[in-house]
Amino acid sequence: MTKMLKGFPKNFLWGGATAANQLEGAFDVDGKGLSSADMIAYVPKAERKNDHAIEISSERLEDILAGKVNARFPKREGVDFYHHYKEDIALFAEMGFKVFRMSIHWSRIFPNGYDAEPNEAGLQFYDNVFDELRKYGIEPLVTLSHYETPLGLTQKYNGWLGREVIQHYVNYAETVFTRYKDKVKYWLTFNEINVMTMSPFTGGGVVIDRVENKQQAIYQALHHQFVASALATKRGHEIIPGAQIGCMLARIESYPHTCNPEDILKAQHENQMNLFFTDVHARGEYSNYMNRYFEENNIVLQTEPGDAEILKNNTVDFISFSYYMTLTVSAGPEGEKAAGNLIGGVKNPYLQSSDWGWQIDPIGLRVTLNTFYDRYQKPLFIVENGLGAYDKVEEDGSVHDTYRIDYLRQHIAQMKEAIADGVDLIGYTSWGPIDLVSMSTSEMSKRYGFIYVDLDDDGNGTLKRSKKDSFNWYKNVIATNGEEL
Ligand code: BGP
């Protein structure tokens, strides 16, 4: 007998997710300043030490600023959404998008981060984008900071390490909340806030070789982001009627390699270290298990009176996260060596991997959704998920991306299962509905889109947009509200 599952809610938010720094291009147009993302140069695969060499040393930063680095900066170029947004949004509308996730590039609004007045041309650009989305009834979901700390804040305060940055961020948030209060209801305060622990420059514009105790600096910068996020949530609720403000985590569920209690304990620890971030955002306080970690790593957070109340009184309305993979961990020696997943771990023999070694785990998404919902009982929003793959363009211009369709189909089927489990899932934005520059590799050839963009890793191409096979497939998924996959 076929199972009849409770389906997706009627008003489910289907769509796609992007980030300004990987999409827009026009990095120095109309008064925009530089941001941390603008400093990441392209390193061809053969010369790369690992696939996510996105940290920046003091020396390299100085060299880039002095123009001594002879390299391309693909995130500065993006896929030129800045000049193609009307055409791109029309294609999203054709797919039936209910929601479009994007970020505001902070340095378009405050070029240095600490400027006294916002840049009107930057504000106008996002007005135009939101109006275009509204024209088609597409709800914007806006990330305030998607790895886009203004470089001025790095130069002045070493990024989020400086407590002053809280006020600059809140000022920026207030500026855009006030300006777009009639156009944007859904907001995210920080993209993948936990990435700070892996990549402080990406996550918070922090040049980590300038500090002695790295772990101390990372959690201090994070404390500032937590306080800033809570203050922005507070101001957003005050300024925008009916605002829905969420946090965003790169969720990586850890599985134990075996049923050895040592492995179970290790997996539990890894899960706590990952869920710590949503614990602070959703429960409004630091969880007890972090005390031991702080003690063992000589971490003493500098806080101010009132911080605890700010966190406690301004928790998020919903929890959002990216989901690309799970991690398998072992307490034994094999747990030490990386097996090709993004952040190491033991290879899970039950799973296949993408061309970049990310292990594909649709059932893990159901597990993830249940873990979150059991823990917080808050609405959940999957704001990134997808398959980075090499696409082949046929002679007639078509792209038969059945692998992408298979990936998404399997993940969406598990979302449906989770909804039947009782999880309150409100939306799904797959990553990169239009091809854009990869975050971890700065490649164009790692593609996620339903829409192909003619641009290669060296920056050659016409930027012409065309539909892949997955375009019509996703259009039908949305039209049938997830009934036909
Ligand atoms: C997430 C980021 C995105 C993004 C995506 C895919 O971590 O929030 O910005 O790009 O991962 O990663 P990549 O582009 O490295 O394949």
pLDDT in tens, the chain (485 residues): 556 778 999 999 999 999 999 999 999 999 999 999 999 999 887 787 654 456 788 999 999 999 998 899 999 999 999 999 999 999 999 999 999 999 999 999 999 999 999 999 999 999 999 999 999 999 999 999 999 999 999 999 999 999 999 999 999 999 999 999 999 999 999 999 999 999 999 999 999 999 999 999 999 999 999 999 999 999 999 999 999 999 999 999 999 999 999 999 999 999 999 999 999 999 999 999 999 999 999 999 999 999 999 999 999 999 999 999 999 999 988 766 555 455 678 999 999 999 999 999 999 999 999 999 999 999 999 999 999 999 999 999 999 999 999 999 999 999 999 999 999 999 999 999 999 999 999 999 999 999 999 999 999 999 999 999 999 999 999 999 999 99
- Cβ 250 under 6 angstroms from ligand 1: yes
Cα of 343 from ligand 1 centre, angstroms? 13
Instruction: Provide long-range contacts, Cβ within 8 A and 24+ apart, for 400-408.
Output: 400/468, 400/469, 401/468, 401/469, 401/470, 402/469, 404/448, 404/468, 404/470, 405/469, 405/470, 405/473, 407/360, 407/362, 408/470, 408/473, 408/474, 408/477
Chain centroid offset of residue 72 CA: 23
Compute the distance between CA of residue 53 and CA of residue 113 in angstroms, rounded to an integer.
25
The DSSP bridge pattern shows strands 425-431 and 380-384 to be parallel
Cα of 320 from ligand 1 centre, angstroms? 15
- Can you tell me which atom of ligand 1 is nearest the CA of 438? 14
Is the pTM above the cut of 0.95? Answer: yes
DSSP designation for 150:
B
Q: Which amino acid is at 422?
A: G
Q: Ligand 1 pocket check: which of 354, 440, 444 to mutate, most ligand atoms within 8 Å of Cβ?
A: 440
Two tokens at 201?
């420059």
The DSSP bridge pattern shows strands 359-360 and 352-353 to be antiparallel
Q: Label residues 121-133 b or e (16+ Cβ within 10 Å = b).
A: ebbebbeebbebb
Residue nearest to atom 10 of ligand 1 (CA): 439
Closest to 227 (Cα-Cα) out of 148, 173, 267, 291: 173
Cα of 282 from ligand 1 centre, angstroms? 24
Cα of 103 from ligand 1 centre, angstroms? 13
Residue nearest to atom 3 of ligand 1 (CA): 439
The DSSP bridge pattern shows strands 99-103 and 13-17 to be parallel
- Cβ 143 under 6 angstroms from ligand 1: no
- Cβ 192 under 6 angstroms from ligand 1: yes
The DSSP bridge pattern shows strands 99-103 and 139-143 to be parallel
CB-based contacts of 114: which residues, under 8 Å, 6+ apart?
Answer: 150, 152, 153, 156, 164, 168
Residue nearest to atom 12 of ligand 1 (CA): 439
Compute the distance between CA of residue 174 and CA of residue 462 in angstroms, rounded to an integer.
38
- Cβ 431 under 6 angstroms from ligand 1: yes
- Cβ 191 under 6 angstroms from ligand 1: yes
Q: Is the Cβ–Cβ distance between 42 and 455 less than 8 Å?
A: no
- Can you tell me which atom of ligand 1 is nearest the CA of 386? 6
Note the CATH architecture for domain 13-479: Alpha-Beta Barrel (3.20)
Q: Is the Cβ–Cβ distance between 88 and 129 less than 8 Å?
A: no
DSSP designation for 327:
E
Residue appearing with tokens 């969420």: 246
Where along the chain do its domains lie?
A: 13-479
Cα of 440 from ligand 1 centre, angstroms? 6
Rounded alpha-carbon distances, angstroms, from residue 16 to 126, 351, 354: 17, 25, 20
CB-based contacts of 176: which residues, under 8 Å, 6+ apart?
Answer: 104, 109, 123, 126, 142, 144
Question: Which residues form the catalytic set?
Answer: 384
